[in-house]
Chains A and B, each alone.
Chain A
């Protein structure tokens, strides 16, 4: 390129204050290959862009260097301007004389000299720029949704209803997630299962949703539009196609006393079980850790009883591959493990509340099961230790939340609301009962939320104390709760029959590993990172991967559902195009000079370089060579660094271009 135009921007005062733009323009006009040099107050503005377009036309420019801000700011703007004038947009170079020069220097003379050098580098590179074309890749219009809780179900249904196929993967034997186990929901007290189970059935029967329950995502390869997903279907020991879901197997199973995961240990289940009667799919699963047949070839009663012959004791984990174009992560949350072994030395477990030591100290999800009509007590509130109806219940909020000393710094957001709900449901079931709540602050922002809390206090008579509980002990069958009422300035002691802990929300187990497979970031607490907290709330920095629900941050059902629909619409936007374009700055191999040592194949972090053969027309092998898959290459340049024969190069950042820049400096 020998007719390069240089355009120096003042950026108002930002550059012009410390860089003598006239001097820069005069110096740049003398650089080899430069046809013309101009300066203007705001190069990114309409008149500025018009100036570039006019110069390209009048001076027949074949390369453009804009000296202004960082390319992060305006590379796209100037590429569009150049393209509008009919020049290939990859013949544009930017020299950053703002962030890397005027903003960081004070001495005008030195800053001006540095600006001239920076522009000189870009001009040197521009002389070797070549026209490039964006890479077009086809889109597989099929989505993967990871997690079958309310967020995952909503996202799957929305995508499927937009006309695209969905693969929905759930780790547990049934979809439904945490919401399926809740009793009633705030602030309307509608029954959780009544509103969720129809959506579960819809997802289970939707012609465009393929359901993988009791399955986990094992690996993810590829990129937006073209992901290849490996799914592990865990051995269920039940042939889903033959099973009718009659439930005879669970009835005859003699091993009935296993703690139910769905009831958070508040109830029991057999070794062959459906997690709950409304499960989708309504098919049982055998717990291989307890089944006598699997452990020691005993029992086998369920097999004998099963009329359709659906029991398969020889079942094994299976790997399935699915091709998808976009991924929605909706893996949800778990509660802080109170008192148990903590996986971080920073978390100290709250032994003072006696969770795990006293049977009647339970967490909020366990309480949900105890008051749920579908729960182990059929909705009658009986305390775990002796089955008696508790006459006095203490609710402790912020267990693990908002506690820098031994818990987590963040607010779990939903606990104030569900604690108010718990007091209400408790008082509705036990009219003479007393509900006492210890809180730090009541955070009830949301439609109808504060009214709901006031109702719990004013109409349903919950007693609220602003203060923390220091210790829960047991004496004479009573739980002695000692805390402070900081508004009254007095210590409070309550002899309770049951204590419910509002434990903090944490991301579900295994999210970090999944995030690494998907190249998605996560914060110090393990919540997945959105691309921008305000303007790109469901996108991630991994193109084509979206997040929704409590895996991103603590949130309640309405928010999780809204976010799920947002993620689904982003998937639909991705699928609206038949093709996606990618930047063309990727590696290519000179197959003539390639010595087929395959160092690049071994070092490529994206597995984008493959072994290939060059054959003559008659099929005879001429030579082996490495070849780049343009769909996978991310343009990192590792292959260029390792290639001993200098056969690998990056488009737009070729060795010729880089060396010309180095020479310009020397």
Chain B
């Protein structure tokens, strides 16, 4: 499978362990990624809180580039990026005037663009049966709490991919690898996201609740698909433990880490040795 690849800022910066992980993991599954040449910021939270047009124009340019570079499907592993790309495509699909205006703005003919996929959808694309067959190290001791966060499944009118409140698609993948995902309550709660810079205590409280609930339901690790979630749950876990006065010690894996581990890739291959909370399998 050949996919266009939109890394977004995080995967080339603070979360380059995520990029290392998914390149290693998808490579083992014969999925090749072609990074979009000359991609720019998706706009993230800043654009759409300041300027509606800008929030559409930024992702629209990326869609136009991907289309021009011949990609029918494009992976955007960061849920914020994929949501912004989908939202821009949706807004322009229903408003031809807007599409013409944006095309002029970004100096490229913007059409429906490639189909934007998140990481879960790529694994679904590969197929659970194929994944199951490729497993070399069944993860039978792993009891992950699959954590979707806010944007992977929301807003439902834009991403329309799994139940917005009780999603189950990650569990299906993890179970195919031999792990035993736990049923828990905080799958789609907010981790505090960007507040980590401005109001750190809010993040400690919100992310702390997520870790506590996962632990209470018997999880021995968490699986995420969002770089921001990973920062708050992994990098901040020490601070959370200090703040709450409890010890969690829960390793936080990207979905690609988990799949990679089952495929027999090492911690060095996947970059899990660079996480803050190290798991037994690292």
Contact = CB atoms under 8 A, between A and B. Distances in A.
- The answer to whether A and B belong to the same complex is yes
A476 B184 CA distance: 11
B121 interface: no
Chain B CB within 10 Å, residue with most, of A351, A406, A473: A351
Given A471-B189, A473-B186, A351 B213 contact: no
A351 B164 contact: yes
Given A475-B213, A475-B216, A351 B185 contact: no
Interface string B162-188: 011110000000000000000101100
Contacts of A348: 156, 164
A357 B166 contact: yes
Contacts of A464: none
A351 B189 contact: no
B185 A480 contact: yes
A352 B153 CA distance: 13
Contacts of B185: 354, 473-475, 480
Interface in A470-493: 471, 473-476, 480
A351 B165 contact: yes
A354 B186 contact: no
Nearest to A472: B185
Contacts of A480: 185
Given A471-B189, A473-B185, A354 B166 contact: yes
Nearest to B185: A473
B183 to A, nearest CB: 8
B163 A349 contact: yes
Chain A CB within 10 Å, residue with most, of B163, B164, B166: B166
A349 B165 CA distance: 9
A346 B165 CA distance: 15
Q: Dominant SS at the B interface? A: loop
A379 interface: no
A350 interface: yes
A348 B185 CA distance: 19
B76 to A, nearest CB: 24
A415 to B, nearest CB: 21
Interface in B50-97: none
Contacts of B189: 471
B216 A476 contact: yes
A348 B165 CA distance: 10
Interface string B137-169: 000000000000000000010000001111000
Contacts of A473: 185-186, 213
Nearest to B166: A351
A339 interface: yes
Contacts of B156: 348, 406
Interface in A443-499: 471, 473-476, 480
Interface residues of B, number: 11
B212 to A, nearest CB: 8
A352 B154 CA distance: 13
A351 B216 contact: no
B233 to A, nearest CB: 17
A480 B186 CA distance: 11
Given A473-B185, A473-B186, A480-B185, A352 B213 contact: no
Contacts of A350: 165
A473 B156 CA distance: 20
A474 B187 CA distance: 12
A354 B183 CA distance: 12
Contacts of A357: 166, 183
B256 to A, nearest CB: 26
Contacts of B165: 349-352, 471
A406 B189 CA distance: 19
Contacts of A351: 163-166
A357 B216 CA distance: 17
Nearest to A349: B163
Contacts of A474: 185
A444 B13 CA distance: 58
A380 to B, nearest CB: 29
Contacts of B213: 473, 475
Interface in A327-381: 339, 348-352, 354, 357
Interface in A593-621: none
A350 B164 CA distance: 9
A471 B185 CA distance: 9
A153 to B, nearest CB: 39
Interface in B211-263: 213, 216
A123 to B, nearest CB: 51
A352 B216 CA distance: 19
Contacts of B186: 473
A339 B189 CA distance: 18
Nearest to B213: A475
Nearest to B156: A348
A480 B164 CA distance: 19
B94 to A, nearest CB: 16
Contacts of A354: 166, 185
A348 B163 CA distance: 8
Contacts of A352: 165-166
A475 B166 CA distance: 16
Contacts of B163: 349, 351
A350 B189 CA distance: 15
A471 B164 CA distance: 12
A133 to B, nearest CB: 58
B210 to A, nearest CB: 11
A354 B185 CA distance: 9
A357 B188 CA distance: 15
Interface in B183-215: 183, 185-186, 189, 213
B112 to A, nearest CB: 20
A352 B156 CA distance: 13
A350 B186 CA distance: 15
A475 B213 CA distance: 7
Nearest to B155: A405
Chain A CB within 10 Å, residue with most, of B165, B183, B186, B216: B165
Chain B CB within 10 Å, residue with most, of A350, A357, A475: A475
Nearest to A406: B156
A474 B183 CA distance: 10
Nearest to B216: A475
Given A349-B163, A350-B165, 16 more contacts: A339-B166, A348-B156, A348-B164, A351-B163, A351-B165, A352-B166, A354-B185, A357-B166, A357-B183, A406-B156, A471-B165, A471-B189, A474-B185, A475-B185, A475-B216, A476-B216
21 contacts: A339-B166, A348-B156, A348-B164, A349-B163, A349-B165, A350-B165, A351-B163, A351-B166, A352-B165, A354-B185, A357-B166, A357-B183, A406-B156, A471-B189, A473-B186, A473-B213, A474-B185, A475-B185, A475-B213, A476-B216, A480-B185
Interface of A: 339, 348-352, 354, 357, 406, 471, 473-476, 480
A-B pairs with the 7 shortest C-beta distances? A351-B165, A473-B185, A351-B166, A352-B165, A351-B163, A474-B185, A475-B216
